[in-house]
Structure 1
């Protein structure tokens, strides 16, 4: 992306993750450390890709950033606000598109976005204009009065993006937002994200298993394995740091394989992640 804000080295971080750890389970049945002493910062206006195999800790990290899980160890700050002590203020700064679908099929497209506008306590006097603005932004104005259950997969994801953007977040978090979508629908989602970042300097954190998306969208990529940060840098820097195959320059997929190889056999949360991904893909496909 390389917006002006993202390229400003003196800017205070939009997201600061400091020695973050989180485990699931208990001593009796066993504990699984999903995030292990993770330290990472994201600059304002930057697009950061959080990549790694299933079970690497990406989604847990995102849920901790979004205040959906309690902080067990370490600290997260969003534009200077501590997530533990200022959870409600932090939620107002964040827009979130999860892996699992978050729309209500029995409501119209407009009603889905209005619901989120009310959740974010957008003043009633501004609500209608704000909803209309984001529906237009994601090109759903003409379909706004249709039931969301009639939407195609690409339209559903754009509707979820409208929900996430209605509060004009400073930080937009996208957890595998294009899973199950065809290439045209994927491009449509990213065009809207790019537009928002250019117009508002919004900070974006994405997880994806599509390396072409990460290459095109991300200013920097953070590779995670076993809940830890394995590598961090611009895509071209990470590609230059490892050898390619058959004498060719390395691709971002080569980088992914290089760092993920040791983590593929220890995915204690893998079954749940695969099932969730398949459910989402079947519903948007």
Structure 2
């Protein structure tokens, strides 16, 4: 707080904050009351701490309005804003507390789509998307190592152009699918070797990043969402060891435990299922998934 703010001014500002906080006292939902009062207290503290000008406040309102106008059925600019501010990762951290050796969670991202096609084990989730083939395999178990047959595994990723299928205007479905762990809790499929790409940076979030000298690039990754009855939903990625972006990931999603070795192969190397990859090389990676119980006090 600057020295030229009088005690009378400080009292006036604090009285306003208290008046607004009391306005929520009669909220029937105690959790709603708690959230709104905490939000108000922190927002007022931010305004006082920075001595925010009216012009700056109006610029912030205009920015958020632009974020709303940029959001469409396939592009969620508010999720993007949450991601680049680290808010998404903070919420994930709060709601996915460490539990034994359970696989760590990371950001959901704005490009998940419900009802992705189902594939069989060893199937190809690329559906013609451009990129180097990648054999992905692993297991789904609980923290004691017990297999979880039937666990649903959603996978999606960007193609070699750095785009998800929903970013094209031709209605394609590509580089996304779901499958189920087999009776031994194992899974396997063909995807694409992940490559770095920029988050959509042609909107207000991109302009904000440029204004502060930050890159829009995301580290190379493959998305997973895994669900099984009685277990906490897991939303995570795997990242490529040695990736050029790595820890500079624009949405702070990288975690050491999620960095994996993607083994590179020449086109002449025999693939795990005998698939002919033509003249292209291919890669393979193993990702063993460990699920935390939905109720940590009642481990099945």
TM-score range, shorter chain: under 0.3
Please, what TM-score do these two structures have when normalized by structure 2? 0.26
Larger Rg: 2
Point out which structure has higher relative CO (alpha carbons under 8 A, 6+ apart).
1
Please, what TM-score do these two structures have when normalized by structure 1? 0.27
